[in-house]
Chain A
Amino acid sequence: MKSTLLKAEYYPLAASALLFVLFFVLGAIQFPGFASLRVVLNLFTDNAFLLICALGMTFVILAGKIDLSVGSMIALTGVVSATLIEKLQWSPLLVFPVILLGALCFGAVMGALVHYYRIQAFIVTLAGMFFARGLATVISEESLAINHEFYSWVNNLGVSLPGRAWLGIVPVLTVVVIIAAVVLAQRSRFGRYVYALGGNEQSADLMGVPVARTTIAIFALSSGMAALAGIVFSFYTSSGYALAAMGAELDAIAAVVIGGTLLTGGRGYVLGTVIGVLLMGLIQTYISFHGGLNSWWTKIVIGVLVLTFIAIQQLVSRQQRGTQ
C-alpha cells in the first residue's frame, strides 16, 4: 500500500530512531546488563507518565497550539487521588473516573477560552498551569502517601520474565495508550481535523472542519491524558505531591519536538513522540549506568537534541520549498 505520508517528513523521525539505536548499542558495548529486557521494560515503566502526557501534547502541537498545564495537572491528579483515597476513604475505582472527567472538563474550558475568546493557548494554559499547581498546593503542601491495598495489588500485578525483568501493568497500559493514540491520529476524522487545524485554521474552517469542537476536544484530550499520566505517576510513587512533575510539560514538549513534530503544527507523528520519550529515557539510563556523570547531564543532552532537531526541521522544510 502506498504511504499517505511524506518521505522527507520521516527524516527527523528516522534520525531519532537511529540515535536511539546508537545510544543503545553504545550502552550495550560499554556496560554489561545494559542490553537487557529489564532496561527496556524499565524504560516504559519509568517514563510511562511522561509518555502518556507527551502523547496528549502531540495532538495539541499538531494543531499548532501548546499546553503548559500538563505538569501541574499530573501533580494535582496525584494530590486529589491521595486526598480522596486516604482522607475521604473513596475507592480508587471511583476516584479515577471522577478525576479523568474533571480533567476533561478542565481542558475543555481551556480549549473554549482559546477558541471563543481568541486568547493564545500559551496564555490560557499558563493560567491553567498556575491554577492547577496552586490548587494542588492548597489541598496539601505535604507529600501524601497512598497506602491503599488496591495500589499495592496493582503494583504487584505482573509477571516475572527471564533476566530479572518484571512486566507490570504500567508498560502494558502504556502500549495500549500508544496504539489508541496512533489510531486516533491516523485513522479517525478527529485526527485529520487536528492536522487540518495545524495546517491552516482559516482554510480548515472554510473546508467545513468543526473548528470549535475540535479545539475544545484537543485540549480536553491533553488534560485527560495528563490526568491519566498523573494516576500512573501516583502508582509509580505511591503518593501524591503538589510539587511533583515540575517542568514535565517542558519535557513533554521536548519529546514531541525530538520526535519530529513541527512546533508550528500540521506535521508530525504520534509514534515520533514515543521515540522521543524513549530516547530521552535511554539517555538518562545511559548516564545512570555510567555513574560518573551528574544526572543533570541528561538535560544538557536533551537541550542539544531539541536544538539540533529544530535545525533539521528547518532544513527539511526549506528543501521542500526549494524543490517545489
Chain B
Amino acid sequence: MTTQALLDIQNLRKEFPGVVALDDVSLQILPGEVHALMGENGAGKSTLIKTLTGVYARDGGAVHLDGTLIHPHSSRDAQDLGISTVYQEVNLLPNLSVAQNIFLGREPRRFGLIDWGAVNRDAEKLLERFDLKLDVTAALETYSVAQQQLVAIARAQAFDAKLLILDEPTASLDSHEVDVLFDVMRELKAQGMGIIFVSHFLDQIYAISDRISVLRNGRYVLSAAVAELPKPALIEAMLGKSMDDSVLTSRHEPQTSQPEPLLQAVDIQVDKKLQRASLAVGKGEVLGLAGLLGSGRSEVCRALFGIDPLAGGSITMAGETLQAKRPADCIEREIALCPEDRKKEGIVGELSLRENIILALQVRRGWWKKLSREEQCRIAEAAVSDLNIVTTGIEKPIGELSGGNQQKAILARWIAVAPRLLILDEPTRGVDVGAHSEILKLIRRLCDEGLALLVTSSELDEIVAFSHRVAIMRDRQLVAELDGEAISSESIMKAIAGAA
C-alpha cells in the first residue's frame, strides 16, 4: 500500500463470557477516506467501535493509530489520542450550551478560570466552517437532532480528531439534513481525517463511502472499494446468503378491493404539532404514511393512539366515535401502537423478554387477573419461534437483545392482545437487513389475517412494498393519498416534494 494507514487493526479479538464477539478482525482505515463499516446487528460493529473508543479493552491483536500502538482505556483516552465518536443517539449534554458541549473538558482558560468569551468565539468559528449558524450560548436541547449531530462532529474537530467514528448518524435525519451531514463529511475528508461510517441505509453508504468493510458474526469478511462492490454482493457478504429480494420487489396485493372500513379520522388537529389530517384504514389493509422527518407522521400516530389530545376533528372506530383521553382508552378499543423511539417508549429494558411480551396483554386483563407463569411462557415461547426472535432464552433482559429483536418483541407484545388496528411508527428504524425483511413479511401476514395497519416509514421502497394506499404528510398536513398502481417511490417523492 502506498499511503500509510491511519488506523491499522490487526487480528483484533474480544471475548465476553461465553461469546467471542470479535475474532481475528483486521482492517485498515486510510487518512482522508470514508470507510463504511457494514454488518448485521450482532456482527460486531458496536464491539469493534467500543474497543476503538476505549469502552472495552481488547483481548488480543493490535491497533495502531498513525503508526503508534494504542491502548485506549476510556473515552477520554481515545479522545486524547485523536479518536472521536458520534453516536446515533446524540451523546451530548442537553442542558449545557452548544459551546459548552463542544469544549467540555478542553475549555480555553485564563488565569485558571474558563474564558467563556473565548469558548463562545471558538465555537462559533468552528460551526461556521460547517455553514451552521447557531446561537452557541443556547442550550443544546433547543436544536434538532441533526443540528446536535453536527455539534457533536464540531466537538470532534475541536479535539483535533484524526479518526472520526459516525455510528448511524443518519438514522433520524431527513434527506436534506443527510445532505448537510455529507457535505461536512466531505469537508473533513478533504482535511485528511479518516471517517468510519456505520449506517443501515445502503444508498447513503454508496453515496458517501470510498471503501466498505463487512463484518459477520464477529469475523472480518471483506474490504473493497465501493465501485468494486455492487449492492447484491455487499448484501450477500453481510447476510452470508443472498437477500430475499422478493419482499422489496413484489407488491403487496390486497385481499379485497373494498376493505371494510374500521378507523376513520376526519380533520384531526393537534396543537402546534398537526395542522390537519383525514384518513381511513380498513380491515385487511395497510395504509402507509410517508413524509419527511417532522412532517407530522409520528404526530398522526400519537393522536390516533390518544397520546396527544385533539384540538379539532373527530375519530371513529368501527362506526363509534372514539374519544380517547389517554392510550388506555385506545387499547380498550383494540388499537395498538409501536412507537418510533423503541428505547424510550417501547421496551422496558430491565424486564425480561417474556415480561415485555406479555405486558400489554396483562394490562388488558387487569392486574388482578394475573396470567399464570405457564401461560406467560407459552405466549413468549410462541412469539420467539413465530417471529424468529434471536435470544438465548425468554428470561433474557430485553435491553440486551439487538434492535431488530427488540422490535420483534414489541410487535409480539401487541399481536398477543389481538388488536384490530395496529399502528407502527417506523418499525424498521435501526434494524438490520435480516430483521428488516422479516418485519416487512410480518406486516403483510398480519394484514392478510384481517388486521388493519397504519405504518410510517422513511424508506420509500419499504412503503411501496407493503402499502395498499399511501398517505403523504408535508408540513404537518396530510397532503395527498396514492392508491394501488399509482404507488411508486417516484410518485411518493413527487407528492412529498409538492410537485403539483
Point out residues on A near B: beta carbons under 8 Å: 1-6, 183, 186-189, 192-193, 195-196, 198-200, 202-210, 266-267, 320, 322, 324
Contact = CB atoms under 8 A, between A and B. Distances in A.
Nearest to A324: B142
Interface string B77-90: 00110000101000
B481 interface: no
A320 B75 CA distance: 31
B210 interface: no
Contact of A322 (B104, B117, B272): B272
Nearest to A212: B74
A136 to B, nearest CB: 37
Contacts of A3: 137
Contacts of B109: 189
Interface string B113-144: 11011011000000000000000011101100
Given A206-B85, A207-B104, A320 B142 contact: yes
Nearest to A265: B95
Interface string B53-84: 10000000000000000000011100110000
B428 interface: no
A195 B114 CA distance: 14
Given A192-B104, A208-B76, A203 B93 contact: yes
25 contacts: A4-B99, A4-B100, A5-B97, A5-B137, A6-B97, A6-B138, A183-B113, A188-B114, A189-B105, A192-B104, A192-B107, A193-B105, A195-B100, A196-B96, A200-B93, A203-B92, A206-B75, A206-B87, A206-B91, A207-B92, A207-B101, A208-B105, A209-B76, A210-B76, A266-B95
B113 A188 contact: yes
A253 B483 CA distance: 61
B164 to A, nearest CB: 14
B232 interface: no
B94 interface: yes
Interface string B337-352: 0000000000000000
A324 B148 CA distance: 13
A199 B93 contact: yes
Interface in B193-222: none
B80 to A, nearest CB: 8
Interface in B133-172: 137-139, 141-142, 155
Given A203-B93, A209-B105, A324-B142, A192 B76 contact: no
Given A203-B91, A320-B141, 17 more contacts: A1-B117, A3-B137, A6-B139, A186-B114, A187-B114, A188-B114, A192-B96, A195-B95, A196-B93, A199-B94, A205-B75, A207-B104, A208-B80, A209-B76, A209-B105, A266-B93, A320-B142
Nearest to B85: A206
A302 B25 CA distance: 62
A202 B94 CA distance: 12
A171 to B, nearest CB: 25
B461 to A, nearest CB: 31
Contacts of B94: 199-200
Contacts of B272: 322
Contacts of B99: 4
Contacts of A4: 97, 99-100, 116, 119-120, 137
What 3 pairs between A and B have smallest CB-CB spacing? A208-B76, A199-B93, A266-B95
B74 A2 contact: no
A207 B117 contact: no
A198 B114 contact: no
A267 B74 contact: no
Contacts of A5: 97, 137
Contacts of B87: 206
Contacts of A322: 272
Nearest to B143: A324
Contacts of B138: 6
Given A188-B114, A192-B104, A210-B76, A204 B141 contact: no
A200 B138 CA distance: 18
B99 to A, nearest CB: 7
Contacts of B79: 208
A200 B92 CA distance: 8
Contacts of B142: 320, 324
A204 B113 contact: no
B47 to A, nearest CB: 16
Given A6-B138, A183-B113, A189 B107 contact: yes
A195 B119 CA distance: 17
Nearest to B273: A322
A2 B75 contact: no
Give the interface centre of A2, A5, A200 by most chain B CB atoms within 10 Å.
A2
A2 B139 CA distance: 13
Give the interface centre of B85, B109, B116, B155 by most chain A CB atoms within 10 Å.
B116
B100 A202 contact: no
Contact of B120 (A2, A187, A200, A210): A2
Give the interface centre of A192, A207, A322 by most chain B CB atoms within 10 Å.
A207
Nearest to B142: A324
Interface in B383-433: none
Nearest to A200: B93
A267 B139 CA distance: 11
Contacts of A200: 91, 93-94
A137 B119 CA distance: 50
Contacts of A187: 113-114, 116
B103 to A, nearest CB: 9
A189 B106 CA distance: 8
